[in-house]
């Protein structure tokens, strides 16, 4: 007879099982029973840690999401810097997929702040500070006038990404990000 798993070992098994199940059947068809079977545990062990499917999936996403870099890109080109910066936000959203993202928003009360990419205080302030740093670097290269970087313009790319997630219910594609940067943001800040 095997040893009963506890603590971190059991949590790791559950989160890995939830991630595998999510990737196998999708958010809509994921059940706590299937996760328990895959993790070789019981539903009670899961519910003690995560009271709902949404909270379990959000925890599994946090566990498997690539580490977010706090470095502000400085490639020598404004467009590349903004695209790389947006990519750090979009990649995890693409990784989880539109169906899961919308399921989480519905089950968590539609609050983007409940999602792993948006769950910490000061996201908007850090976003704007990073975007202003990108603009200052571009200004030093003669690409922009950083005075054009008002708080509304700095937050515009993130606001448009949120719009894509909430209103269109479509996956955020690389083409969408390029349109946001090339057709909307850059014309507002270039000299």
pLDDT, tens only, 113-129:
545 455 444 566 778 88
Q: What is the mean pLDDT of residues 54-70?
A: 85
Domain 7-64 is classified in which CATH homologous superfamily?
Homeodomain-like (1.10.10.60)
Lowest-pLDDT choice from 54-58, 157-161, 166-170, 179-183: 166-170
Domain ranges within the chain, ordered by starting residue? 7-64, 78-189
Is pLDDT of 181 > 80?
Answer: yes
Q: How confident is the model at residue 102 (pLDDT cuts 50, 70, 90)?
A: confident
Q: Identify the DSSP state of 19.
A: H
Query: Is 100:109 a contact under the CB 8 Å cutoff?
Result: no
Burial of 86 (0-12, 13-18, 19+ CB in 10 A): buried
Is pLDDT of 165 > 70?
Answer: yes
- The model carries a pTM of 0.73
> What was the pLDDT predicted at 34?
97
Q: How far apart are alpha carbons 45 and 47 in whole angstroms? A: 6
Is pLDDT of 2 > 80?
Answer: no
> What was the pLDDT predicted at 119?
44
């Amino acid at each position: 007879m095997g040893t009963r798993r506890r603590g971190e070992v059991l949590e790791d098994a559950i989160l890995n099982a939830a991630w595998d199940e999510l990737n196998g059947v999708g958010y809509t068809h994921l059940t706590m029973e299937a996760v328990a079977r895959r993790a070789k545990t019981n539903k009670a062990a899961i519910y003690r840690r995560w009271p709902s499917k949404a909270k379990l999936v959000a925890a599994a996403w946090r566990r498997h999401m690539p580490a977010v870099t706090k470095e502000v890109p400085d490639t020598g080109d404004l467009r590349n810097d903004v695209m790389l910066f947006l990519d750090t936000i979009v990649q995890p959203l693409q990784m989880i997929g539109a169906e899961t993202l919308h399921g989480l928003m519905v089950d968590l009360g539609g609050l983007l702040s409940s999602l792993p990419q948006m769950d910490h205080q000061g996201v908007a302030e850090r976003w704007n500070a990073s975007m202003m740093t990108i603009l200052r670097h571009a200004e030093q290269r003669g690409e922009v006038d950083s005075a054009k970087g008002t708080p509304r313009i700095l937050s515009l790319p993130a606001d448009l990404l949120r719009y894509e997630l909430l209103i269109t219910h479509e996956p955020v594609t690389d083409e969408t990000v390029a349109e946001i940067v090339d057709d909307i943001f850059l014309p507002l800040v270039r000299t």
